[in-house]
Amino acid sequence: MGKVFVFEHPLMHHKLSIIRDEQTNTKLFREVIDEIGMLMAYEVTKNLPTENVIVKTPITEAKCKKLKKDVVIVPILRAGIGMVDGLTAVIPQAKVGHIGLARDEKTLQPQEYYVKFPDSITESTVILVDPMLATGGSVSYAIKLLKNRGIKDIIYAGIVGAPEGVKRIKKDHPDVDIYLAALDDKLNEVGYIVPGLGDCGDRLFGTKK
C-alpha cells in the first residue's frame, strides 16, 4: 500500500510562503521551486534499494552501498519541468523522461501529445513530478501510461496537493507513494487548489496574465 508523506520542515514552510505570495516574480518563483525540489529529493529517495559494494580507498578497502537501480525523473509537461533541476542536483546520475499531456476539449480527459523515455526505464525507479495535484486526473493518467509500458517502481512527487487529488491517486494507484510539500484544504468550483499558489506553469514561465 502506497503512503502519503507531507513535509513539515521549517525550511519547506518558509519556501512555500514565498511561492504562494502573488507578489513573487517569475525569477524568484522559479528559483524557489528549484530549491523545493532539492529539499524533497532526500525524503523521496530515502527508501531506494541499495546493494553492497567494495571500494578501494587511499588506505584500504571499504564496504559501501550504492543505488541498486537507475533513477529516472519524469516531469509532466509543462510545470513539472520546474522541479527537474532541483532533483537532478541531488541525483546527478538520474536520467530524465518527459510526458506531455493536454486536455481533450470534447471528452475533457487528458491525452498524451509527447512521450519520451530512456531505454532503461522499465528497470528503473521512476519519480513522476508535477507540482500541482488538484483533481489527480493528469497524474493518474501519467501513472497508468508508465505502468502500460511495464514500469512497476513509481513514486509521485508534487509541491501542493488537494485532498481530492490524493484520494484519486490512492484509489487508482494504491501502490504508488505520494510526496507533497503541502496538502491544502480543497478545490474551488473551477478546480484550483485552495489556498494554493495559482497556475504553477504560468508563474514558472511568465505567462501569467
Active site residues: 103, 107, 199, 202
End-to-end CA distance of the chain: 41
- Are 160 and 13 in contact by the 8 Å Cβ rule? The answer is no
User: Are 158 and 99 within 8 A, CB to CB?
Assistant: no
Cell output for 2: 502506497
Alpha helices in 45-136 (DSSP H): 81-90
Backbone angles phi, psi at 78, to 5 degrees: -105, -25
Q: Give phi and psi for 205, each to the nearest 5.
A: -110, 10
**How far apart are alpha carbons 22 and 40 in whole angstroms?**
23
Contact of 33 with 75, CB cutoff 8 Å: no
